[in-house]
Amino acid sequence: MATTRRPDPRPARTRAVILDAVHELVTEQGITDTTIAQVSDRAQVAVGSIYTHFGSKDGLVLELAWSRTAPAFATLEELRADRGPLERVTALGEAIVDFALAEPVSLGAFLGVQALPGDLASHEAGRQLLTEVELVSAHLRSDLQEAIDAGQTPEAPADELAAMLLGLWTGLAAAVVRGDRFAVDASLARRALGRIGTLLA
């Protein structure tokens, strides 16, 4: 009788160890200064193993960004349930800042505070990131248009409002994750969020 071969769990464990190591290093010193050799030392895996799993440093950085942001994108979908259009818009802004506070390194990378590869679409993780960002942007434009049509917010082009809000939210989130004297603390960020919301009233 033939036996069913179980999937080998070792590759997944190795990937997880490598991603944990690069996250620690990026937290300590940033993406630019983190090298594959350092990741190899921290994860205690061969350099070749990193290239086998991720292809390049760009691939590794994108996998890090995707692995840390994917749960947040899933949460955004949950936030849409049982809310009106303007409530969904406000919840999105709150979620972006919440993510900045919970995952400052990942958001710093994702927003370009640190260096993401230029050609995201050349990596699977990059394509997943682009797909989710485009979905969030489309939802935001749709929600704003619905709010405008319902008279909940002043008449304005929904795409312009969406661009303005995303710029304000991501700018605020980027300010939260800064590692210098110009960083914005959490309490101020939350108060500023409320001010942004008044722009739609």
Q: What is the pLDDT of residue 113?
A: 42
Residue matched to tokens 């909940």: 152
For the stretch 76-126, pLDDT in tens is 888 888 899 999 999 999 888 888 778 776 665 555 544 455 566 778 888
Q: What is the pLDDT of residue 76?
A: 87
pLDDT of residue 26: 86
Do 50 and 36 contact (CB within 8 A), yes or no?
A: yes
CA–CA distance, 198 with 112 (Å, rounded to integer): 28
In this structure, the number of other CB atoms found within 10 A of the CB of residue 36 comes to 16
What tens digit of pLDDT does each residue of 29-65 get? 878 889 999 999 999 999 999 999 999 888 898 898 8
Q: Which tens digits make up the pLDDT trace of 155-185?
A: 999 999 999 998 888 888 888 877 778 888 8
Residue-range domains of the chain with CATH: 8-55 (1.10.10.60), 56-198 (1.10.357.10)
**Whether pLDDT at 7 is above 70:** no
Which residues make Cβ contacts (< 8 Å) with residue 75, sequence separation at least 6?
95
pTM for this prediction = 0.81
